[in-house]
Each structure stands twice: as structure tokens, then as C-alpha cells.
Homo-oligomer: A and B are copies of this chain.
């Protein structure tokens, strides 16, 4: 027999009861995201989800992402209830680019020492993101990893699965010269470029998160923590009009890094429109004296999703999107390109945006 004062798992830094308490708080949050397709929920070994009956030759579409160093803003402000929306957005906005309908989402939440209140706040954001995306929070993992993270910090990863009929997959092959680029407004930085933004705003300019910088009209914390927009509904609206040739989610890399990913190799993009840039970007630009090319390859600069639309359908798509509440900008069009197709930056030219 072993001795009474032997080592326990809890001694080793893992509090399974805290994990159980968090699971109890997550259950109702996940339950509210349940769709009619869900067969099993959080708690078993795995989550089960049927397929919508109306999709011919269903193809599964899957993406994974994290929130990146935007999480640091949650740590600095103690506001943990919105980064979950960012997490869902980053995954779902990828999945919808091939024309897929989001089905379900799973999250991975890792921390050094589990704080149930923080965990619950994070998952409440994830559940809200799932609600906005119309997908079910089908499962998740809470990992308590002593020594991996600083006190009060954590990391998040998300996984999303959607479905699209094989004949409806947007693979970019339909894109042609003259297609119109419709930009859907972003809400701000979304979830990219935070290492640079923090360096510029907090370190270089020495701004405090609860200050209200000139022109921003809100605290820096509010601007920086604003959740990433989820374009699932917008995509559904655009697809229902017809004439959508491709969709590009503008993440790290900006327009130059993301638009060419959905264009045939012999085509590029000419950005000749103007659109309102959320004020936070110019704050970063000035605080860090960031060059324009670096701004463009790091941030979305106000456009979170680009709809590549057939020229004769662009107006109808734009109208339908605006009707549904989106702010839509004609930012440019598709042009021939004869540069190295792998040189994404060279395939995207700006003609009227130079300051």
C-alpha cells in the first residue's frame, strides 16, 4: 500500500475540480449555440453533427486559427469576454471563403493555472461568436499547463468546420479580368498586427489603454479590443444574389497578402477605390512611423472581407449586402498580371491610395 501523504495530481499543479466547475459553466453556454444538426454535445469524448440534408455532394471545409497577441489586450485590461468572438471570427471567416456554411466550432483554451471566471468569460465570447456565425459550439478542451503561461495569461485555438456542395465550391477559377472587388468594412484591427500595434501605441507613443487619443473617440482599450467581424451572414447574402467568383478574408498580410490567394495566377488586383479607414490605423501609423507598404501588408486597413464579383452582378451584390446592414466599398477590380504569381505583393497595385 502506498503512504497516506503521497503526491497527488493536484499537488502537481493540476486542479481537476476547477476544470469540472468550468465545464459546468460552459455547458449552458454551449447548449445555447446548439443547432438542429447537433447530435451530441460537450461532455462525451467527441461532438456529433449531422449534415444539412439540402447539400448535394457535400464537401467539408475546415480551418484553424488563434487570436494572436490581441490576447495581451485582454490580459492588460482584464476584459476576457470578447476575444472568443475574435477566435470564432478568425476561423469562420476562413471557412466561408470557399462558399461554405459554418456547421460547428471547437475551442482549445490553455492556461497555467485555471481561473474559472476567466475561462467562463472567454467561452461566453466563443459562444457569442458561434451565435453570430450560426454554428454550434460542439466541444472544446481546457488545458491546465503549469509553467507554460504567465499568471492570468492563456492561449486560445479554434477549429471550425463548414460544408458546401461540391459544385458550389469557390476555388477562384471563375475569377476573370474586370471582376469588381467589393470590400466589406472591418471593425478595426480585427485580430492581426497586434504585436506591431502594441509596440507602436504603448511602447513608442506611451499611450495608456484607458486614454482617449485625439480622433479616436473612445478609449484605446475599446478600439483595440473591438471584436473581429464575422462575415457568415454577409457571405450567405452575397452568394444568394449570384455572381460571386471568390471571397478573400483579409488577415495578416493585408490586401496584398490575401487577395492573390484566391485569384488565378495570371491575374492581379488594382486597388483604385477609397474607403473610410477606422481611426485606430492612423494612430498606429503615426505612433510607429510605420511605412505605408508595411501598414498594407500588416493590417486590413478597414476592409475585412473582399467579395470578388462578376462586373455585371457587383451592383446587385453590393445592394443586397447594404440592405443586410453591411458597409460595402468598391475598392478596385481584377486586372491582368504578368509578375511572378508567388510575389503576392507585386500582384496588388494601388493607384489612387497614395497619400
Residue from B8, B166, B288, B355 within 8 A of A196 (CB atoms): B8
Contact A289 B6 (CB under 8 A): yes
Whether, in the assembled complex, A54 has its beta carbon less than 8 Å from a beta carbon of chain B, the answer is no
Contact residues of A between 36 and 81, Cβ < 8 Å to B:
39-40, 44-51, 57-66, 68-69, 71-72
Given A1-B292, A13-B195, A45-B261, A155-B249 contact (CB < 8 Å)? no
Contact A141 B98 (CB under 8 A): no
Contact partners of A1 in chain B: CB under 8 A: 292, 355
Within the complex, what minimum Cβ distance (angstroms) separates A47 from chain B?
Answer: 5
In the assembly, how many copies of this chain are there?
Answer: 2
Bound Cα distance from A288 to B2, whole angstroms: 9
Contact A66 B2 (CB under 8 A): no
Bound Cα distance from A282 to B136, whole angstroms: 43
Q: How big is chain A's contact interface, by range? A: 35 or more
Whether, in the assembled complex, A285 has its beta carbon less than 8 Å from a beta carbon of chain B, the answer is yes
Contact partners of A104 in chain B: CB under 8 A: 60, 62
A residues apposed to B, CB below 8 Å: 1-9, 11-14, 16, 39-40, 44-51, 57-66, 68-69, 71-72, 94-95, 97-98, 100, 103-104, 106-108, 110, 138-141, 143, 145-149, 153, 155, 157, 159, 161-162, 166, 169, 171, 193, 195-196, 198-200, 204, 248-249, 252-253, 261-262, 285, 288-292, 294-295, 297-298, 355
